[in-house]
Amino acid sequence: MDVSFHGHSVVKVEANGKTILFDPFISENGNTDLVAEDVQPDFILLTHGHNDHVGDTVEIAKRCDAQIIAPFELATYLGNKGLNVHPMYIGGSHTFEFGTVKLTQAFHGSSYTEEDGTIVYTGMPTGILLTIEGKTIFHAGDTGLFSDLKMIGERNSIDLAFVPIGDNFTMGPDDALVAAEWLKAKQVVPIHYNTFDLINQDGDSFAEKVSPGIGKALKPGELIKL
């Protein structure tokens, strides 16, 4: 299985003959190696409705007929645009042809801003547990530090965790170190940083402070084989 990072919070998983794309913020992301018109996901997983996470979902899903898996309100909003959606909610899990998805809590907001400035409420933000080919990947989404991350780590054997470190909008590096400790993941990759000045951070420094051999800062396009 190949799991690659593509800047901001964009993560791609290639396994079981399928391509799963998390939070495809691509065309307006100056810190990605991807081109929105070239990606070919079978499924798109969304943690919440902010524009820097929904990103190019509509255009990609229409072109590829990709199914979108998202929190209920966000899925409903996208389904009303004629897209193929599967709604879920926090605490719920579902087994798809590629693996099992479970949504977890995340402490943040969730809304989509239309081109005219209208803000559409898109439900609760989430993290995502993806179990695929016998491995468990946790994408924390956008979140501050909260104590139930410890429970998530205790109840799941996490092979790879993606945690935000940008600060200001999410937890910063110090809180993310605590999250990494609580999650007990075998590998931890920082996300949601260096996309714009307000969230500039040193990913390598963060990775070095995580337990030895566990932290790894990926450049856009780099992958981990699980």
Q: CA-CA distance, 98 to 18, in Å (whole number)?
A: 7
CATH of the domain at 192: 3.60.15.10
pLDDT of residue 176: 98
Q: What is the mean pLDDT of residues 126-136?
A: 98
Give one DSSP letter per residue of 182-214, joined into a string: HHT-SEEEEES-SSSGGG---HHHHHHHSSTTT
Asked whether the CA dihedral 76, 77, 82, 83 is positive or negative, the reply is negative
Examine residue 44 and state whether it is found in any structural domain, yes or no.
Answer: yes
DSSP H helices, the chain, are 51-54, 57-64, 72-79, 148-155, 173-183, 203-209
Q: What is the mean pLDDT of residues 54-61?
A: 98
Please determine, for residue 136, whether its predicted confidence score (pLDDT) is greater than 90. yes
pLDDT digits over 147-189, tens only? Answer: 999 999 999 999 999 999 999 999 999 999 999 999 999 999 9
Please determine, for residue 5, whether its predicted confidence score (pLDDT) is greater than 90. yes
CA distances from 196 to 10, 12, 31, 57, 148 (A): 15, 21, 9, 21, 29
Residues spanned by the domain of 7: 2-221
Examine residue 172 and state whether it is found in any structural domain, yes or no.
Answer: yes
Q: CA-CA distance, 163 to 182, in Å (whole number)?
A: 12
Residues in the chain: 226
With bands split at pLDDT 50, 70 and 90, how would you rate the model's confidence at 212? confident
Average predicted confidence (pLDDT) for the chain: 98
pLDDT of residue 84: 98
- Residue 121, φ and ψ in degrees, nearest 5: -70, 135
The structural domain count of the chain equals 1
pLDDT digits over 111-130, tens only? Answer: 999 999 999 999 999 999 99
How far is residue 46 CA from its own chain's centroid?
7
Examine residue 63 and state whether it is found in any structural domain, yes or no.
Answer: yes
- Residue 206, φ and ψ in degrees, nearest 5: -60, -50
Examine residue 40 and state whether it is found in any structural domain, yes or no.
Answer: yes
Please determine, for residue 61, whether its predicted confidence score (pLDDT) is greater than 90. yes
Q: What is the mean pLDDT of residues 123-147?
A: 98
Examine residue 129 and state whether it is found in any structural domain, yes or no.
Answer: yes
Examine residue 67 and state whether it is found in any structural domain, yes or no.
Answer: yes
Q: What is the mean pLDDT of residues 11-15?
A: 98
Q: CA-CA distance, 72 to 94, in Å (whole number)?
A: 13
